[in-house]
Amino acid sequence: MHNSTFSFIPLPVGVSDPMKRLTKIEKYYRRLNHSPATLFSVVMIPVVGGLFSWMIDWFSYNYLSTVLISNFPGPSYGGNFIAGGNNNKVLDINFSAGVGVGNCGIAFCMISYADGMRIITSVDKSILPSDEAVEELNKKIEEELDLYKTLSTV
């Protein structure tokens, strides 16, 4: 299993064939296994995190990416809260960080827990000005995921 704190990959948004898009993303992701960028990010995050907050602002402005995709895989099994004698079942988890400061206009936060997965979409108002427009984007993402599920069973 390979963990990375952050990495940058191009997204093949101009490729119309869904399997070709997926293949390109897989190729870009696999390149990260041999890239020094991953090691650099693992070292850089604690160093930057140890600075004063006004110094962190210099490093946290996003110059490099326009879309942010965060993946937080949770456990594949359900759990219980420790408080209350460990009798209260955790039904779901949620997390969202927004687009941050800089060039990022769209942020997707994917988080899984037990048998479910949640995708939270945050969009700068200058890109998609209404909640309805964001919902339409979410529907397109669901259609894409359903297409990959269908193709994987063929």
Which residue shows structure tokens 């006004």? 54
Does the residue 100 lie in any domain?
A: yes
- Structural domains counted in the chain: 1
Does the residue 122 lie in any domain?
A: yes
Tokens for 122, please give them: 């945050």
Does the residue 61 lie in any domain?
A: yes
pTM beyond 0.85: the answer is: no
Does the residue 9 lie in any domain?
A: no
Contacts of 87 (CB under 8 A, 6+ apart): 80
Say whether pLDDT at 135 is over 90: yes
Does the residue 80 lie in any domain?
A: yes
Is residue 154 very low, low, confident or very high in pLDDT (cuts 50, 70, 90)? low
- pLDDT tens figures, 9-62: 788 888 888 889 888 988 988 887 777 776 777 777 777 777 787 777 777 777
Tokens for 21, please give them: 């898009």
CA pair distance 56, 45, nearest whole angstrom: 10
Does the residue 38 lie in any domain?
A: no
Does the residue 24 lie in any domain?
A: no
